[in-house]
Chain A
Amino acid sequence: MRRPLRQMIVLLGLGCLLAAAPAAPAARAENLIAALSADRVNIESNFTGTRIVVFGEIARDALTVARPEPYDLAVVVSGPEQVVTTRRKGRFMGIWVNRDSETFERVPSFLAVHTTRAPHEMASRTVLERHRIGLRNLNLPIAIASDVPIGDRDNFREAFLRLRVQNGLYQEQTDSIEFLSDSLFRTSVSLPANVPVGEYTVSTYLLRGGALLAQAEQPLTIAKSGFEQFTYRLAYEYSALYGLLAVALAIFTGWLAGVIFRRD
């Protein structure tokens, strides 16, 4: 009930923006307007992943300079940043143990990149890296104290990206942005079941001929709600109470079973 309502509000807002656009004084460059199907994703007990739709419009007016190249779009959904350690197992006295590790600082916990074509065809590496367009262009700053030799670091980088892609937290899809008309576009980003909670940013970039013409940014909140949020907060903020509750629940269940299945 709430979600369609919110969508309508977003659409209405979009309409207002569109109506307001021509009134802007003599715009020469393109304007980019984008919106999300929902600005909040609630994780409840039946959560198994969901999708959000990012849609928008490339707004032009009569004064916009005509350009020969096609438009390129990139939608980048990035999750809260975290410190991540990538470890590699090695053989040690006959068994496989974690030996080398590399810690990356400030990497997004979730990253979905949707583009109209392969990122490297769209712009120079500098532009792509600045805006995290494409997994290959993701900066992975290494913690200062790293004992991995320079020549070996790429292996950790590669492994990190591969594992993140494997568990669905990093995605890259080219050709996934759909044009509904010359200027209206839409893409659907899937959020897997293991999506981390937190404040997300959805950035939309409009490029042409390697130049960034416009960008738009929307916040997206992914949060546990109801019982899930309550339990999580209890566990982290009132750990002692949570521990006691867990013990009480266990003793009660055990006692109840002992009474129900009493045989003498």
Chain B
Amino acid sequence: MQIYLPIAELPVNMFMLFGMGGAVGFLSGLFGIGGGFLLTPLLIFSGIPPAVSVATVTTQVVASSASGVVAYWRRKMIDFKLAGMLLVGGVIGSAIGVWLFDLLRTLGQLDLVISLSYVTFLSAIGGLMLFESLRSMARRRSGVRVAARQPGRHNWVHGLPFKMRFRQSRLYVSVIPIIFLGGVIGFLGSILGIGGGFMMVPALIYLLRVPTNIVIGTSLLQILFTMAAATFLHAMSTQSVDIVLALALMIGGVIGAQFGARMGQKLRGDQLRLLLALLVLSVGVRFAVNLVLQPDELFSVSAAIAEVRR
């Protein structure tokens, strides 16, 4: 069934959208990630203009993180103060990101920056996760017990000024790395249409040593607000949020996520991380191949952004 998208200005098959939303939702439920980094490329590869894909996925991420936040809130596993500080950075990062997004679009280099950033971030993070999960699998096989959180140990992050106490996370750290982390993720989120959960979660655990049970809920809450801000800013400056596309993706996504979450409980942590690493890496490689191989069509045509039409 074809449905005409009012902002993307083209008809697409609605079941294809439900399918994509569902598949990505399944993976996001399985791995506890937003799935934006999978959904945006899928939309771009299926012919939706990159600008609309990125802006609309930010909206979809709002929906998927909202449903997660509800669940974690009920279990009181969110550090609101930490999320608030991350958010301060996130809003600043999003604003810079949306501004740059608009600038790159007029320069005609938006697609390149999206591709390059995907290659860089996905390969780096995918590689790290692959390495980490393989190491922990090997350790488990050889029977070495992995020490969990070591509250006494400090790294360089704990030497920074402007310290603040976070009761729920049992932390006393500088706000600089927190705001910076929020900023980077907000920036990437608005440029790439990703929530950044797959970067936020490891950063909070390994860099700031936030307890694992608090991390996911807090990260989801922060992503919810950052992506809500990014959606709003995209709507204001680029007008490329397609509400019909977003709704179709959300419906598929939230249903898929439920099945994914159930499946996820049957797999071990390091197996999950290995699968996720392979997934992240393959998306990165897909972008890299596109950049390196000579394209079939060297030319592209883009019309100047239209003024208000009635």
Binding site for B on A (CB under 8 A): 43-48, 82-91, 94-98, 101, 109, 156, 159-160, 162-164, 193-194, 196-198, 223-224, 227-229, 231-233, 235-237, 239-240, 242-247, 249-251, 253-255, 257-259, 261-262, 264
Contact = CB atoms under 8 A, between A and B. Distances in A.
Nearest to B304: A83
B6 A232 contact: yes
Q: Which are the 4 A-B pairs with shortest beta-carbon distances? A: A254-B66, A243-B235, A258-B70, A257-B254
A86 B299 contact: yes
B236 interface: yes
Contacts of B141: none
8 contacts: A83-B304, A89-B295, A163-B300, A198-B309, A227-B6, A240-B235, A250-B246, A254-B70
Nearest to A247: B228
Interface stretch (B56-64, B142-150, B184-192): B56-64
B11 interface: yes
Nearest to B2: A48
A82 B306 contact: yes
A180 to B, nearest CB: 33
A90 to B, nearest CB: 8
Contacts of B233: 243
B66 A250 contact: yes
Interface stretch (B172-180, B204-212, B237-245, B278-286): B237-245
Interface in B274-310: 291-295, 297-304, 306, 308-310
Contact of A243 (B9, B71, B236, B258): B236
B4 A89 contact: no
Contact of B251 (A84, A95, A162, A253): A253
A262 B73 CA distance: 12
A7 B71 CA distance: 58
Given A84-B304, A96-B295, A246 B67 contact: no
Nearest to B234: A243
B124 interface: no
B106 to A, nearest CB: 10
Interface string B210-238: 00000000000000100010011111110
Contact of A254 (B2, B254, B308): B254
B271 interface: no
A246 B246 contact: yes
Residue picked from B224, B239, B292, most chain A C-beta under 10 Å: B239
B250 A253 contact: yes
A251 B228 contact: yes
Residue picked from A83, A160, A244, A258, most chain B C-beta under 10 Å: A258
Contacts of A251: 62-63, 66, 224, 228
Contact of A250 (B11, B60, B293, B301): B60
Contacts of B299: 86-89, 156, 159-160, 162-163
A258 B228 CA distance: 18
Residue picked from A45, A194, A240, A255, most chain B C-beta under 10 Å: A45
A247 B304 contact: no
B128 interface: no
B10 A98 contact: no
A86 B304 contact: no
Nearest to A83: B304
B44 interface: no
B123 interface: no
A257 B4 contact: no
A87 B300 contact: yes
Contacts of A101: 108
Interface in B51-107: 59-60, 62-71, 74-75
A97 B109 contact: yes
Interface in B119-176: none
A247 B254 contact: no
B236 A233 contact: no
Given A89-B295, A96-B291, A235-B241, A46 B4 contact: yes
B267 interface: no
B263 interface: no
Contact of B301 (A91, A160, A224, A264): A160
Nearest to B75: A264
Residue picked from B4, B108, B254, B308, most chain A C-beta under 10 Å: B4
Residue picked from A46, A233, A243, most chain B C-beta under 10 Å: A243
Contacts of A235: 6-7, 235, 239, 241, 243
A45 B112 CA distance: 32
Contacts of B67: 253-255, 257-258, 261
A96 B66 contact: no
B42 interface: no
Contact of A98 (B112, B254, B293, B294): B112
